[in-house]
Structure 1
């Protein structure tokens, strides 16, 4: 059986009615296989943290179906008003000013995915070109049982004191948008946030372009690690981060126990996968006031969600355990 496309997998998901035109104005290569794209727009685009975009490359790309890519930026950045500058920009440039609305995507190289392959063309072929995008998805923050009440509410079912974000690999994408959103709210919404993030060891401390032997912080080579460190370190988000590095480089230095980030900040890590017990520990004793978001490969999400909501297991309310599978 052929692998389903994004549009087929998500046919049951809600989608906005309108398409938006955006312009690729910046490309940042984070690792050899991951790049960040900034998509600028002339009109604000509304979405909720955790949602994705149907991305339609231009007709000349001959990509038959749109690709699906999670928005990694906070909604506020796409809803600000465009700036007005009466001075014309140099010919051939479309760099946004700090006030211009934009969205960010993280794209992983995937030669068998036509839309992702297009977005991995050389930057010179992509910069200043336009795409058509549509917002969709139901894996969102705040959780639906809160948003329907318009706030935290007084009933037990409407309380929220802790948010647990569980990510496997590129499953961090929707969760970083949620975390950024929380950090923008007054007093971080008054919630405690626990992030459990598992990703492949990029070769920490092996001189692969960073770390102890490379002369550059290793944190920059783990997707969004330094963003998260900054949000927690600034106090905008209350809580903490647990980092899990799974096997990647066989010769990784077993004696290293922390990843070095900018400013000398060190993030401890465990050399293992996240377990159900780790998630339950992060939730703690207040499961009636907590919500868990899980994003990772299907086997990971199925295992964690089943264990968390099982009456014979942890016994959380199903409405408080949300998940999205990273295919």
Structure 2
């Protein structure tokens, strides 16, 4: 398809034929610039989303809560994780982190990142990251996530930084499914290391379906109603009802193994156990 374009050259008027496709070139260029500034597809066919840090909070003495705005909304399920790519000292480094926010928030993602002396990305994000820092994200990833086909009785068992994917699940259920009961069993080394403690207290007051129980393993705190020690068979057994339930477990590998063994010994079906091992 062509258009007739009137032009004037040295006082004379001429009509030139301009093919319609040429008129689309500026539009196409603009769209491509927008595309590559928001997301692109890597060589493995994964969608890479551009993101920028907009807020950094101290979640615990050893953990930062970092909030990002994303150029486009990330496609993930509650409980999944992302790969985060960031430039450090001129090199692109990668770290994997569970998502703590929910898919309900558009163009936004939140991560809680524990300090690590042997993980370059975690160390950088805890001590050197600044507001405005740009990163790239790939996700959501992982097969351990909440979906609406599961039972209406969800038990979340968290150890330390393992609260992160379970926080996404807990938040999502509270905001979308008033008929789903959630029980949280959350263990940390000290009361200060219970990330999201204030928010969890507020959510428990707001949503009758949510009940939270806490353990600390390395100190005795008389200020709150904490259980001392690890989440053991007696503790887990209290929350096994014999009815249809699904259990999500996240924490150190040894804790996951012990929790799975306990639940199986209490006649919980293996298909009702959901977990992934990170370390």
Q: Deviations over 1:218-267 (max 9, x none)?
A: xxx631122222222112x504111111114xxx45xx1x42xxxxxxxx
Q: Distance in 2 between matches of 1:120 and 1:281?
A: 37
Structure 2: stretches of 5+ with no match in the other structure? 1-43
Q: Which residue of 1 aligns with 2:167?
A: 176
Q: Distance in 1 between matches of 2:263 and 2:61?
A: 36
Q: Distance in 1 between matches of 2:84 and 2:45?
A: 13
Residues 273 and 59 from structure 1, CA distance in 2 versus in 1: closer, same or farther, beyond 3 angstroms? Answer: closer
Q: Which residue of 2 aligns with 1:141?
A: 146
Kept in 2: contact 1:194–1:239 (CA 8 A): yes
Q: Distance in 2 between matches of 1:16 and 1:140?
A: 22
User: 1:322 pairs with 266, 274, 278, which one?
Assistant: 274
User: 1:106 pairs with 87, 103, 112, which one?
Assistant: 112
Displacement of 1:60: 4.7
Q: How do residues 24-63 of structure 1 correspond to structure 2 at under 5 angstroms? A: 24-58=53-87, 60-63=89-92
User: 2:182 pairs with 193, 209, 217, which one?
Assistant: 193
What's the RMSD between the two structures over aligned residues? Answer: 2.1
Judging by fraction of residues, say which structure has more strand. 2
Kept in 1: contact 2:160–2:194 (CA 8 A): no
Q: SS of 1:116's equivalent?
A: helix
Residues 61 and 244 from structure 1, CA distance in 2 versus in 1: closer, same or farther, beyond 3 angstroms? Answer: farther
Q: Which residue of 1 aligns with 2:28?
A: none
Q: How do residues 259-270 of structure 1 correspond to structure 2 at under 5 angstroms? A: 259=224, 268-270=225-227
Structure showing greater Rg: 2
Q: SS of 1:316's equivalent?
A: coil
Kept in 1: contact 2:78–2:169 (CA 8 A): yes
Q: Distance in 1 between matches of 2:187 and 2:72?
A: 36
Q: Distance in 1 between matches of 2:166 and 2:128?
A: 28
Residues 307 and 16 from structure 1, CA distance in 2 versus in 1: closer, same or farther, beyond 3 angstroms? Answer: farther
Q: Distance in 2 between matches of 1:45 and 1:63?
A: 21
Displacement of 1:128: 0.6
Displacement of 1:175: 0.5
Displacement of 1:174: 0.5
Q: Which residue of 2 aligns with 1:247?
A: 218
Q: How do residues 106-125 of structure 1 correspond to structure 2 at under 5 angstroms? A: 106-123=112-129
Kept in 2: contact 1:35–1:108 (CA 8 A): yes
Displacement of 1:140: 0.3
Displacement of 1:132: 0.8
Q: Deviations over 1:41-89 (max 9, x none)?
A: 121112101111101112654244x111111111111x3xxxxxxxxxx
Number of residue pairs matched?
235
Which of the pair has the greater relative contact order for Cα pairs under 8 Å at 6+ separation?
Answer: 1
Q: How do residues 167-316 of structure 1 correspond to structure 2 at under 5 angstroms? A: 167-187=158-178, 190-202=179-191, 222-235=194-207, 238-248=209-219, 252=220, 256=222, 258-259=223-224, 268-286=225-243, 289-309=244-264, 313-316=265-268
Residues 302 and 120 from structure 1, CA distance in 2 versus in 1: closer, same or farther, beyond 3 angstroms? Answer: same
Q: Distance in 1 between matches of 2:121 and 2:84?
A: 8
Kept in 2: contact 1:50–1:70 (CA 8 A): yes
Alignment TM-score, normalising by the size of structure 2: 0.78
Kept in 1: contact 2:83–2:95 (CA 8 A): yes
Kept in 1: contact 2:154–2:245 (CA 8 A): yes
Q: Distance in 1 between matches of 2:127 and 2:190?
A: 26
Structure 1: stretches of 5+ with no match in the other structure? 1-14, 80-100, 147-157, 204-220, 260-267
